[in-house]
Amino acid sequence: MRPDAAAQAEVSKLAYYGLYALQHRGQESAGIAVSDGTRIVVFKDMGLVSQVFDESVLNTLRGHMAVGHCRYSTTGSPTWENAQPTFRSTDAGGLALAHNGNLINTPELAKRLEPGVLTATTDTEVLTALMATRMEAAARESGGGPGDPIAAARQVLPDARGAYSLVFMDEHTLCAARDPQGVRPLVLGRLEELGGWVVASETAALDIVGAAFVREIEPGELVAIDGEGVRSERFAEPRPKGCLFEYVYLARPDTTIAGRSVHAARVEVGRRLAREHPVDADLVIPTPESGTPAAIGYAEASGIPYGQGLVKNSYVGRTFIQPSQTIRQLGIRLKLNPLREAIEGKRLVVVDDSIVRGNTQRAIVAMLRDAGAAEVHVRISSPPVAWPCFYGIDFATRAELIAGNLSVEEIRDSIGADSLGYISLDALIAASQVPKGRLCRACFDGEYPIPVEEDARGKHLLEPSRS
């Protein structure tokens, strides 16, 4: 948020840079909503941030506040209608909202809306519609005038269950809110020289737009930012359960979560992995880039030299979050290529962050053997992902997860490795430096901090033809 009118053209560009920094969190669509104090303008489309926006588009998005989003679909199909920010225009003013996470009572909340109100099939659309409806009703009761997004959030958010880190705004106020468990990260930053404020999913985005980290938005906290500064209140009692998988894969390594450097946590995981699953080998190589910090730690603790054995094509996105299995498998071949002279005849330790479906590791082991590796020992810097996530990661059935159906030895055989070792859950938690009771570990141990009803599961809940 920038309070001065002279800098209106810069706000959309700051949002653009922030989204660029967070591109790893979603690659399906991108959007920015901007307010100039009178109206809100939204521009969004399918594709990467760099594909959706260019200089001419950003120059038309003029205002003193902006909300941006890059989407990774966990509720609703990857379509233009489901791109964010979502927007509602009401007699009480506009409301633009962006959401990271996943609600688990979306059908229940959707029933509170009049038929035909929803124009998209996401939990984010349901939240936006409910809040806009409350804004409009409050404005009518008071005899007209602008709506109040803070009052609307107070009414709606206590009934929302699941993971939600939100940024939303009307024409005058930028707001942020985080679910009582704080499953997904959300941080507040200060643009000192420009006199503005920034809210983002990760501290890395603050660094890239030149903002200083102030603090995390607390679980159950609602924040409002306007020309008078920052105001904060509680809408729910905090029950912290931050996502442990953020430390494994989702967050950038240059991000800090709960005071812990993600890179430092991943290196420490590698050290502990080496102690838990040693092996005689000639070279430790990572699956770039997500396996790199843990591979560094593994090499350090084991005394085995660290090297590069796989070359990554930097122009191919994260295969894990691509929406279709066909693209995932094709993306693996496009993304990595073995460095034959480094691995031929060598006994390799290959360190990766996780095994979800097994496709990536199977392809990598085959490529390394074809390139002349003598042995391939796979080491994984997370425990087996054996349970589905309902809080913002797109593996929603146990049938999709290789560890949900096979033992470690069966997985080793499936991917073709000489040996396979996973870090223990206790060691991963210790590396995060967050107490076990303050972490969501559901994908590893099946203990869900927010119970999920059977009829609230699945990505296409609001799409009856596909559910």
Binding site as annotated, residues for Mg(2+)? 290, 352-353
Distance CA 248, CA 432 (A): 9
- Type of residue numbered 386: A
Task: Please enumerate, by residue number, every residue annotated as part of a binding site for [4Fe-4S] cluster.
Answer: 243, 389, 440, 443
Dmax over CA atoms of the chain, in Å, equals 80
Tracing tokens 């104090």 back to the chain, one arrives at: 37
Distance CA 51, CA 29 (A): 9
How far from chain centre, in Å, is Cα 254? 15
DSSP strand pairing (347-352 vs 283-286): parallel
Q: State residue 87 phi and psi, 5-degree precision.
A: -140, 140
Asked if residue 349 lies in contact with residue 291, where contact means CB atoms within 8 angstroms, the answer is: no
Would you say how long the chain is, in residues?
A: 467
The partner residues of 221 in beta bridges, in order of sequence, read 234
Q: Which residues of 338-365 are buried (b: 16+ CB within 10 A; e: fewer)?
A: beeebbeebbbbbbbbbbbbebbbbbbb
Task: Please enumerate, by residue number, every residue annotated as part of a binding site.
Answer: 243, 290, 352-353, 389, 440, 443
Asked if residue 70 lies in contact with residue 26, where contact means CB atoms within 8 angstroms, the answer is: yes
Asked if residue 53 lies in contact with residue 33, where contact means CB atoms within 8 angstroms, the answer is: no
Asked if residue 181 lies in contact with residue 239, where contact means CB atoms within 8 angstroms, the answer is: yes
Distance CA 183, CA 178 (A): 8
